Structure formats: C-alpha cells, structure tokens
Amino acid sequence: MGKVWFVGAGPGDPDLITIKGRALVEQAGAVLYAGSLVAKAALDWAKPDAVTADSKGMTLEEIADWLALQANRCETVVRLQTGDPSLFGALIEMVRPLDQLGIEVGVVPGVSSAFASAAAGVESLTLPEVTQTVILTRFSGRTPMPQGEDLESLAKHHCSLCIFLSITLFDQVEAALLKAGWDEWSPIMVVEKASWPGEERVFKAPLNQMAALIETNGIKAQAMIVASPTLGARDWDEITKSKLYDPEFTHRFRKAAR
C-alpha cells in the first residue's frame, strides 16, 4: 500500500511550490489536484504515465475513495492543494478516512495566499511598535464562525487581518471593521489571484473607498483582503526600526557598538 501526500501547491505561481512538493509530484503514480484553484501548470512535473484527476466536481467521499484506490496501486499518491494544506484546506476531513483504512499520509506545507498577497503589495504584516500579531480568518458565510471568532471581535485587536474567502461580502467586512473601531480611512489592500502569472491584481484604498473599487474592477473570487495598521509603511516619514539590527543592541552574534 502506498503513501498519500497532501502537498501545498502554493498560492498560484507554479514556481512557488516547494522543492519537496515538486519532487513528490515528479515521482507520484497518481495526482489529484484542485482544478478550480491550483494552476494546471503544476502538473507539468508529473510523469507522462501518472494518473491525474481534477477534484473540483468531487465530494469529500469521492476524494477519499479516489486517494484510497490509487494508494492500493501506487507507491506515491499526491493530493495537490492550493496554498497550505493546513489552512482552509479540509485536511483532517480527508485524512480521517485514510487513517481508518490504515493508509499512511504525509503533509508538505505550502506558501499561503496571505503571504503571497503581502509580497505582491510589498507590504509587511508586522512592524515594531505597530503590530506584532497577524490573524488569518474569514467572514461568516455558509460556514459559520465559532463563538467569539466573528470578525468584529477579532478586529478589535487592531492588528493585521488577512481575511480569506470573503471578497463578495466586503460590505459586511467593512461594517465589522467600523464597529470594531477602525477608522473609515484605514488602509485596506485587496489582492486578486496573488502570484498567478499575468492574472495578479493589487488594489489599495481607504476602507470607505474599497467597496466601490472592488465592484468597478469586477473582483468576485480568489481575492485576499488585508486590513493592517502597517499598510503603506514604505512611504511613512519614519518607522521604528528592529532592535535586531540596531548598533546599540547586543545579541549573541554581535556586541553593541556603544
């Protein structure tokens, strides 16, 4: 019986898959990919005789059955998922049926669209004395949020928020931020298809202008909303610099200059 690997394909650019993830795709006898999210170019590394299938029309049970079937005939099976498998990836739901069948599983992490979005905008999600915390979350939709995890409650921390799967609900996102005390001029960034070659679009605007920008540009899916007090720091007159590189700061690799 083979081993099923859950591999993070990254945010969209095929080159952002890890070296280990690519190697597993190259040696796999079967690859199941999420066609609605994973760039098909990621399959270019698969063997010509590898069995490949698109999971976008499958149910959870059908995915588990396909992986189990291929594990009975292949030494290496890859489930290729967008971003990182541990984040909004239904990882545990797919692993549990394989556990029950005694099929070994492994996970290879991937680059999240949250970090690809920050990279696309040349932004940092943390800055000294501004915020040192990042919350990865989503707005409540067909999947309800657990008690205490509604966006308004989380936004009251006034740290960096990476809001997944919520672009069509931006009006409600905006209302939650305002109720949490964010100013209507707070900087917001929306990144559509972060890192996708030729398809990535980055939008930056104050909170009270972003909804109109989203509608005008027809952004309806695969977009990350970033709300953070750090946005735009590249153009600030001054920032507080990290102690790590401060000449007056001693650490185990360097003594303070004075």
**Cβ pair 103, 29 in contact under 8 A:** no
**Residue 104: inside a domain, yes or no?**
yes
Side chain identity, residue 64: A
Asked whether residue 129 falls in the same domain as residue 94, the answer is no
Asked whether residue 130 falls in the same domain as residue 206, the answer is yes
Asked whether residue 121 falls in the same domain as residue 158, the answer is yes
**pLDDT, position 242:** 78
**Residue 251: inside a domain, yes or no?**
no
**Residue 22: inside a domain, yes or no?**
yes
Question: Of the candidates 108, 138, 161, which is a domain's last residue?
Answer: 108
Alpha-carbon gap, residue 231 to 188, rounded angstroms: 7
Angle, helices 91-100 vs 60-71, to 10°: value is: 50
Which H/E stretch holds residue 76? strand 76-81
Nearest alpha carbon to residue 131 among 206, 195, 225, 226: 226
Number of domains in the chain: 2
Asked whether residue 83 falls in the same domain as residue 125, the answer is no
Asked whether residue 144 falls in the same domain as residue 75, the answer is no
**Structural domain harbouring 91:** 3-108
**Cβ pair 204, 92 in contact under 8 A:** no
When computed from its CA atoms, the radius of gyration of the chain, rounded to whole angstroms, is 21
Alpha-carbon gap, residue 157 to 140, rounded angstroms: 18
Angle at 242 between CA 236 and CA 246, to 5 degrees: 115
Asked whether residue 119 falls in the same domain as residue 227, the answer is yes
**Residue 231: inside a domain, yes or no?**
yes
**Cβ pair 17, 24 in contact under 8 A:** no
Asked whether residue 117 falls in the same domain as residue 98, the answer is no
Question: Of the candidates 88, 108, 128, which is a domain's last residue?
Answer: 108
Asked whether residue 145 falls in the same domain as residue 191, the answer is yes
**Residue 98: inside a domain, yes or no?**
yes
Asked whether residue 140 falls in the same domain as residue 217, the answer is yes
Q: Which residues contact 202 (CB under 8 A, 6 or more apart)?
A: 120, 121, 189, 190, 191, 192
Sign of CA dihedral 123, 129, 132, 136: negative
Asked whether residue 142 falls in the same domain as residue 165, the answer is yes
Chain Cα centroid distance, residue 237: 31
Asked whether residue 59 falls in the same domain as residue 80, the answer is yes
**Residue 130: inside a domain, yes or no?**
yes
**Residue 70: inside a domain, yes or no?**
yes
CATH code, 90: 3.40.1010.10
Asked whether residue 121 falls in the same domain as residue 187, the answer is yes
CATH code, 149: 3.30.950.10
**Residue 196: inside a domain, yes or no?**
yes
**pLDDT, position 253:** 67
Q: Tens place of pLDDT for every residue, the chain, 258 residues? A: 899 999 999 998 989 999 999 999 999 999 999 876 666 667 788 999 999 999 989 999 999 999 999 999 999 999 999 999 999 989 999 999 999 999 999 999 999 999 999 999 999 999 999 999 999 999 987 788 899 999 999 999 999 999 999 999 999 999 999 999 999 999 999 999 999 999 999 999 999 999 999 999 999 999 999 999 999 999 999 988 876 666 666 666 667 776
Question: Of the candidates 46, 80, 108, which is a domain's last residue?
Answer: 108
